[in-house]
Amino acid sequence: DIVMTQSPDSLAVSLGERVTVNCKSGQSIIYNGKNSLAWYQHKPGQPPKLLIYWASTRESGVPARFSGSGSGTDFTLTITSLQPEDVAVYYCQQYYATPHTFGQGTKLEIK
């Protein structure tokens, strides 16, 4: 299984500030030149919401303050200006190979 490791496990950031969440895969997840890495936002009582795929492609309807970067085994989710509605748990996931493992999650709160 490909292990996905996120850091930090939790963070508290002031409104309007920049947020960075990291994700590291246990092996390269490059498929046909593209990184098979997705980011999800998960709020209590709701299903997860896809934010980013192919490491840096923003899903339709996702605000531009969300962006993804990285390649190979190291990836980053960035929120440029934290909004109240961004409070959630964020997960990375590799879809390069089954099992399509998730990171352990990063809980984001307002400071």
Partner 1 sequence: EVQLVDSGGGLVQPGGSLKLSCKVSGFSISDSAIHWVRQAPGKGLEWVGRIRSGAYNSATAFGTSVKGRFTISRDDSTNTAYLQMNSLKIEDTAVYFCSRPIPNCGSVSCPFDSWGQGTLVTVSS
* Contacting positions for partner 1 (CB under 8 A): 1, 31-32, 34, 36, 38, 40, 42, 46-48, 50, 53-54, 59, 89, 91, 93, 95-105
Instruction: Rank residues 54 and 65 by Cβ distance to partner 1 and give the closer one.
Output: 54
Instruction: Rank residues 9 and 17 by Cβ distance to partner 1 and give the closer one.
Output: 9
Q: Concatenated DSSP letters for 24-55? A: EESS--EETTEE-EEEEEE-TTS--EEEEETT
Beta carbon of residue 91, minimum distance to partner 1 (angstroms, whole number) = 5
Question: CA-to-CA distance for 76 and 56, rounded, in angstroms?
Answer: 9
The token pair that represents 30 in the structure block = 């490059």
